[in-house]
Structure 1
Amino acid sequence: MADMLTYHIVPENLAEHVFNVKLSVPASKHNVIHLTLPAWIPGSYMIRDFSKNIHSIAAASPNKEITPIRQVDKQTWRVENAAPGLEVTYQVYAFDLSVRGAYLFDEYAFFNGTSTFLEVKEFTESATTPIVVNIINNQLDKDWQLCTSLTQQAVVEFEGNATHSFICEDYQELIDHPVLMGIVDKHTFEICGVRFHFVLTGNNETDVERICNDLKPICKHHIDLFDGLPEKDYWFITLLCEDGFGGLEHRASTALMFPRFHLPMRSETDVIPEQYQQFLSLCSHELFHAWNVKRIKPELMISPDLQSEQYMEQLWIYEGFTSLYDDLTLARTKIINPQRYAEILGENVTRLNRTQGRHKQTITQSSFDAWTKFYKQDAGSHNHIVSYYNKGAIIALALDITLRQMSNNRYSIDQLMQLLWSHYGIKNIGTPNDVIHTLCKAHFNIDISSFLDIAIYTTMDLPLDTMVQSIGLKLNLRSRASADDKGGKANKETTKHAFGATFKDQGSGVVLQTMHDGSPIVQAGAQLGDVLIALGQWQVNAGNLQRLLDNQQSSKVDITLLRQGRIIRSSLPIKPAINDTVYFTIENAEIFDAWISGAVSQ
C-alpha cells in the first residue's frame, strides 16, 4: 500500500487525554505538501477550530531525517522535501465531551475524523487517493471493543494490542465515520436487509433489547419511505453521560449523546416516559439524515470547503423537515399514541410562539446566519432569531397540509421527500434554493410559491389555527401555568399576570437569565444578570415569585434589584399574562389518525 496515505492512531495517554497519530505520505511528484485540519464538521455549522488541539507535530523522511515543518495559519502546515515520502507525527488533545470532537478517558475513546486526521491537500485535491487507517486498540486488557462504520480490511493482534485496518476511497469518506473504542454494550438487528448496530458506552443498567425493539419500526418506516438505505450497515453510537444531549449525522452512522438514567432500565415496565421518547425521537431524527442532508443536500454541500463558513439558506428544509419526521414517525409506528403526538405538536408551536425573534428573522436568514447567530446564542438571542429546526418543522407541517388541500389529498410531504431522493439524493446532485417550488410545479402541478414566499421569506405567522382543522385538530391558546410550562396540554391553573423573564434561585432572590423585549420586567428597567430581591415588601424566590405577582391588585408594584453590588429600586407594571402557550385538541380522531399515517387519495 505504498501509494496510499496511511494513518495510525492510538489512544496513548488516557489520563492526559492524548491520541498519538502517525501519517505516512507516499513518494510522489509533490515536493511541497500542505497539511490541514477542517475548521468545522458537517452537520454542525460553527467554526470549531479543531486544529487548536493538534500538538507536537513533526515530520521525517523515509530514512528518519528530520524534515522542517512550518505552520502557515491556524490550521495549515507546510512541509518541503516531501517527494521521497514523509512520516508526520502529532498528538491530538481529546477532551471535548460532545458528538462533534474527540474525547479520551478511562472508559472509552471517541473521535471524529475532522478532529484527528490531517488532510494532505496536494493528494486530495489533485485526484482520488485511497486511504488506509490503522486504529490500535492498546486497551484489550480492559475489554475495550472498537465500533465504527468504516470498512474494515483486517484485524491483527501484536504484543497485546489489536490493530484494526480500514480503507477509505478519499478524505471525505475518512472524516464521515466516527470511531468509538472502549467498554461498550452492542446489539445488532436486521431490517429490510440492513444490519443496524446499537451501541452504548460503559457499564450500564439500560434495557438495550427494549430500545432495539423500539428502534426496529422506526428504521423500517424510514427505509420504506425512501425505498431502501444505501448502506449495508448502520451504527447508532451512543455516548452515555450524566447530563448532556446531542446527535450528529454521518453517512452510515450517527453519534449520539444522552443521559444514561433517562433511558429505560432492565427492571422497568413498558411505560414510555417522556425522556425516553426524546431519545427515540433523536435516533429517528439522525437516521432520517442518512437520506435528508447526507445525500439529499444543498449544492454547496456536495463538496464543501471545510476551512471556512459555507453560507446557505436551505437548512430549514434539511433540519426542519427532519424535525417534523422525527416525532411523526413515533406516532406512525404506534410508539406514541395520537394524543401524545398532538401534545408534542403543541409544545413545538408553543416554543415558536415564545420566540420573539420570529418577527425579526426569516427562516432563510436563520439558515444563512447559522454560523454566527444560531450556533452562538446568548441570553438575548430569543428576541432576535428564530430556529430553523423549530420553525422549519412547523413550515413542513403547514406545507404538508397545503399540498393536501391544493391536490384534493393526492399529494403530501411524503411524496415530496421521495422526489427529493429520486431526483437529487440518488444522483448526488445538490438542491437549488427553489427546489421545493420546482418539484411541486413539475410533478404535482401545484404552484406553491404563494405559500412558500410567506413562510420562508417573511416573518409573518402562518394561520395554523385554521390550517390544522383540515387534519382534525383544534388549536387552543392559554397563558403559562408556571415558569417551566412548555405547553402541549390544557391546564386550568394558569398565570394571571405577565413577568417576562426566565430566572433561577440565587440565595436571597432570583437571578434574571433571559428577558423578553417589551415585557413588564423590561419596562421596569431590569437587566440581564440582575438579582430580583423583593416584590413589594416580600422577599422573592423561584417558588413564590409568580404567586406574589398574581396576587397584585394595583397597576404596579415596587421591586428591589441587586445589580453588581448596587441596590436598584423600581416599579413593575402589572399586565395580563400573554396567551403564548398552545395545546391541540383532537376534534376528529379518524381524520387525525389518517393524517398521521400519511394516507393520501388514490
Structure 2
Amino acid sequence: MTAAPIFYSIRPSHPEAHLFEVRCTLAAADPTGQRFALPAWTPGSYLIRDFARHIVSIRAEAAGQRIALDKIDKHTWRAAPVDEAAPLTVICEVYAWDLSVRGAHLDQTHAFFNGSSVFLCPLGHEQRPCLLDIQPPVGTRYRDWRVATAMAPAHGERGCAEDHGFGLHGASCYDELIDHPVEMGVLTLASFTACSVLHEVAISGHHDCDLTRLTADLTRICEWQIRLFGEPAPMPHYVFLITAVGDGYGGLEHRASTALLCARDDLPYPGMTGTPERYRTLLGLCSHEYFHSWNVKRIKPAAFTACNLAVENYTTLLWAFEGFTSYYDDLALLRCGVIPVEDWLALVAATIDKVDRDPGRHRQTLAESSFDAWTKFYRPDENTPNAVVSYYAKGSLVALALDLTLRAATRNHCSLDAVMRTLWQRHGEYDQHRSVGVGDDDIRLLAEELSGLDLDRFFANAIDGTAELPLALLLKPFGIRLQRAEGSGTPTLGVTTKATGDELRLSTVYHGGPAQTSGLSAGDLLVAIDGLRVMPATVDRLLSRRKAGEVASVLAFRGDVLMEFSVQLGSPTLGKHQLLLDKKSNVLRKDWLQA
C-alpha cells in the first residue's frame, strides 16, 4: 500500500509585510504526538542558519479543532495526539526578508524561497512523497505573476509547467521537496536545449539582458559539461533562477536548478561586444553551480550521503567539491570557446594572487579548512586572512596542480578529467544507481589507480600540509611561464584598510607584519603618519616618500583613546602574478586546454 503524500501549500499572504503562509498536512500522524522540524541549514551552504527564527506564528489543526503544539527545541515542535482518521495540519507564518540564495525573500515585486527555510518536515515521514500547492498572492496587482521552478507538476496537473502557472507540484520525498527553489513574480523567461535537455532561464528584477547572447553562451557551457561526464545528463530539465539587483553576487546549487543573485550590470546587454569582466564573472558563476549538478549534488562526500539538517555535517573534502568545481567553472568557459585563453590565464593568475596575499595559507591546511567551514570560513572576521585558507581558491589551484601532474607524467593519457568521469561512474547517483559517498582517501587512490603514479607526497603537501604549490615548475612543460609584475615600490604597513569618507580604518592587520609588530590592531582609526594627517587619498603618498626599514610614527585612535606607535615599514608589496604563453606550439598544452 502506497503511503499517502504529505501535502504542503505556500502563499505570499502579506507581500508588503514579507510574510508567507505555509501549511503542512499529514494524513497519518504519529499517534503519540507528531513532531515537526525546520532545517537549521541548507545543503551547499555550510553554516547553521537557524531558519526557525523566521517563523512568526505557528499553530496546528485537526478536524477543524485547534491542536496543542509544544516547542521542544529551537526548531522542533510536537503536536498533541490526534484521531488517526483526522489529518493533522500545521500552519505557520514565515518572515521572508533575506535577499540571498539561501533563504526566502518576499515583497510586492517578487517572491523567492529555498525550501529548507520554509517547509517543516514531519519527522519519521521523510521518505513519503510530497505535494506542493504554490499559490499566488491575492490582488489584481499580482495577476501577471508566474512561477519558475524545476519541481515537476503533480501528476494530472495541467498548465503549471508549460505556462509557469501556479498549482500543484510533486516531489518524491522531503529531501527533493527542499531541493527545488521557487521564484515567483513578473519573470523574463527564455529556454534552450543542451544535449537534448531543456534548460530555462528565469530572471526577476529590473534588467536589460540580451537573452539571445545569454542563452547561446549557457548552451555552450552546459553542453561541454554534460559531455565531460558523459551523456545523458543526470537531470531531465534544468532552470537558472536569476535575481537581478543593483549590487549582489551569489549562487547555490540544486539537483535540477540553481538560484543566482547578480548585479544587473553583470548581465549581457544588447549590442555588447566581447565578454566584459562583469559578464565573464556571471558566466563563471553559472558554470560553477551547473558543475555542482555532478560534483556534490550526485558525487557526494560520504558525510553528505544522508545529511542531518539539524546539526553540522563535517567533511574534510570541500577542497575537492568546491575547489575542483572552482577549477572547472572557468576552464569550461575556455574549453567551450566562450572566453579566449588570455582571459583564462588572467583568471588563474588572479586566483594565485588571492591565495598568496593571505598568511592563513601557512596556518591552516585544506583538510582543516573544509572541516572548519561551519565555524570559520562562513564566519569571517578581521583575523580570517591570518588564520584561514579558502578551500575554493586554494582548492582550485590544487586541482590545477593535480591536473598538470597527471598530464605531464602520462603525456595526457591521464588527467583530472578522467578522475572526475570515474568518480561519476563509481560514486554518482543517477537513475536508480545509489553508490557510496567519497571517502577521505578515495580521490588520491583513484588518481593513483588511473595514472600509475605514487601521489602520497602530493596530497600530503597540498591537502594535509601548508607547503606552497610548485605551480611555476608544473606549468613549464605546458609552455606557460608564471611570473610577477613589478610592485609599486612603496613600503607597507602590512594591513588592509577600509575608507569611510575622509577616515581610514584598519580592517585586517597581517600576522607578523610591521603594523602588528608595532601593536596596531584591526579597527584602529589611522590619524597621522609622521605628524601628517592620514586620509584615504593621502596614505600611499605619505608612505611612498619613505623606505622599507625606516621607522614611522603612527597616531591612531583605538576606541576614543589616541595611541602612538613606532612602525618599522615593511618591504614593498610584490606585483601581481602573470601567466604568459610560450609562442611555440605545445602538444601538452593543446590537449589540456582544448580537451
- TMscore range, shorter length: over 0.9
The partner residue of 1:170 within 173, 185, 206 is 173
Alpha-carbon separation, structure 2, partners of 1:203 and 1:2: 44
Q: In the TM superposition, what is the alpha-carbon distance from 1:596 to its structure 2 partner? A: 4.5
Q: Secondary structure at the match of 2:240?
A: strand
The aligned counterpart of 1:489 is none
Moved more, 528-537 or 272-281: 528-537
Alpha-carbon separation, structure 1, partners of 2:30 and 2:67: 17
Alignment of structure 1 residues 442-453 onto 2, 5 Å: 442-453=449-460
The aligned counterpart of 2:555 is 560
The partner residue of 1:117 within 119, 134, 150 is 119
Alpha-carbon separation, structure 2, partners of 1:454 and 1:343: 26
Alpha-carbon separation, structure 2, partners of 1:173 and 1:498: 52
Seen in structure 2, the aligned counterparts of structure 1 residues 462 and 29 have a Cα distance that, compared at 3 Å, is closer
CA RMSD of aligned residues (A): 1.9
Q: In the TM superposition, what is the alpha-carbon distance from 1:514 to its structure 2 partner? A: 1.2
Seen in structure 2, the aligned counterparts of structure 1 residues 419 and 559 have a Cα distance that, compared at 3 Å, is same
1:252 aligns with 2:256: yes
The aligned counterpart of 1:549 is 543
Structure 2 counterpart of 1:192, one-letter code: C
Instruction: Judge conservation of contact 1:183–1:203 (CA < 8 Å) in 2.
Output: no
Alpha-carbon separation, structure 1, partners of 2:286 and 2:226: 14
Alpha-carbon separation, structure 2, partners of 1:395 and 1:2: 47
Seen in structure 2, the aligned counterparts of structure 1 residues 557 and 113 have a Cα distance that, compared at 3 Å, is same
Instruction: Judge conservation of contact 1:4–1:129 (CA < 8 Å) in 2.
Output: yes
Q: In the TM superposition, what is the alpha-carbon distance from 1:398 to its structure 2 partner? A: 0.2
Q: In the TM superposition, what is the alpha-carbon distance from 1:29 to its structure 2 partner? A: 5.9
The partner residue of 1:586 within 568, 581, 590 is 581
The aligned counterpart of 1:211 is 214
Alpha-carbon separation, structure 1, partners of 2:115 and 2:91: 16
Moved more, 52-61 or 536-545: 536-545
The partner residue of 2:234 within 230, 237, 241 is 230
Moved more, 451-460 or 527-536: 527-536
Q: In the TM superposition, what is the alpha-carbon distance from 1:15 to its structure 2 partner? A: 0.8
1:422 aligns with 2:425: yes
* Offset from partner CA, 1:404-429 (integer Å, 9 cap, x none): 12223211111111000001114432
Q: In the TM superposition, what is the alpha-carbon distance from 1:573 to its structure 2 partner? A: 1.3
Alignment of structure 1 residues 266-415 onto 2, 5 Å: 266=270, 268-415=271-418
Structure 1 counterpart of 2:95, one-letter code: Y
* Offset from partner CA, 1:520-555 (integer Å, 9 cap, x none): 222332111111122223222222212221211572
Structure 2 counterpart of 1:182, one-letter code: G
The aligned counterpart of 1:532 is 526
Alpha-carbon separation, structure 1, partners of 2:64 and 2:591: 67
Q: Secondary structure at the match of 2:537?
A: coil
Instruction: Judge conservation of contact 1:40–1:307 (CA < 8 Å) in 2.
Output: yes
The aligned counterpart of 1:90 is 92
Alpha-carbon separation, structure 2, partners of 1:578 and 1:156: 61
Moved more, 590-599 or 460-469: 590-599
Q: In the TM superposition, what is the alpha-carbon distance from 1:595 to its structure 2 partner? A: 4.8
Q: Secondary structure at the match of 1:300?
A: helix
1:597 aligns with 2:571: no
Alpha-carbon separation, structure 1, partners of 2:355 and 2:475: 16
Alignment of structure 1 residues 428-439 onto 2, 5 Å: 428-429=434-435, 430-439=437-446
Q: In the TM superposition, what is the alpha-carbon distance from 1:580 to its structure 2 partner? A: 6.3
Alpha-carbon separation, structure 2, partners of 1:357 and 1:580: 20
Alpha-carbon separation, structure 2, partners of 1:448 and 1:431: 18
Instruction: Judge conservation of contact 1:509–1:534 (CA < 8 Å) in 2.
Output: no
Alpha-carbon separation, structure 2, partners of 1:386 and 1:350: 13
The aligned counterpart of 2:128 is 129
Moved more, 534-543 or 331-340: 534-543
Q: In the TM superposition, what is the alpha-carbon distance from 1:211 to its structure 2 partner? A: 1.0
Instruction: Judge conservation of contact 1:350–1:580 (CA < 8 Å) in 2.
Output: no
Instruction: Judge conservation of contact 1:38–1:306 (CA < 8 Å) in 2.
Output: yes
The aligned counterpart of 1:464 is 471
Alpha-carbon separation, structure 2, partners of 1:2 and 1:418: 37
Give unpaired runs (5+ residues) of structure 1. 481-493
Q: Secondary structure at the match of 1:453?
A: helix
Seen in structure 2, the aligned counterparts of structure 1 residues 598 and 303 have a Cα distance that, compared at 3 Å, is farther
Structure 2 counterpart of 1:241, one-letter code: V
Moved more, 465-474 or 20-29: 20-29
Give unpaired runs (5+ residues) of structure 2. none
Structure 2 counterpart of 1:441, one-letter code: E
| TM-score, normalising length: structure 1 | 0.92
Moved more, 135-144 or 309-318: 135-144
The aligned counterpart of 2:104 is 102
Alpha-carbon separation, structure 1, partners of 2:561 and 2:285: 45
Alpha-carbon separation, structure 1, partners of 2:449 and 2:345: 33
Q: In the TM superposition, what is the alpha-carbon distance from 1:478 to its structure 2 partner? A: 4.2
* Percent identity for Structure 1 against Structure 2: 36
Alpha-carbon separation, structure 2, partners of 1:363 and 1:58: 45
The aligned counterpart of 1:41 is 42
Seen in structure 2, the aligned counterparts of structure 1 residues 262 and 163 have a Cα distance that, compared at 3 Å, is closer
* Offset from partner CA, 1:229-283 (integer Å, 9 cap, x none): 11111000011112111000000000000011222222x3312211110000000
The aligned counterpart of 1:32 is 33
The aligned counterpart of 1:506 is 500
Q: In the TM superposition, what is the alpha-carbon distance from 1:327 to its structure 2 partner? A: 0.7
Alignment of structure 1 residues 153-164 onto 2, 5 Å: 153=154, 154=157, 163-164=166-167
* Offset from partner CA, 1:149-194 (integer Å, 9 cap, x none): 001122589xxx9641011111001010000011110100011111
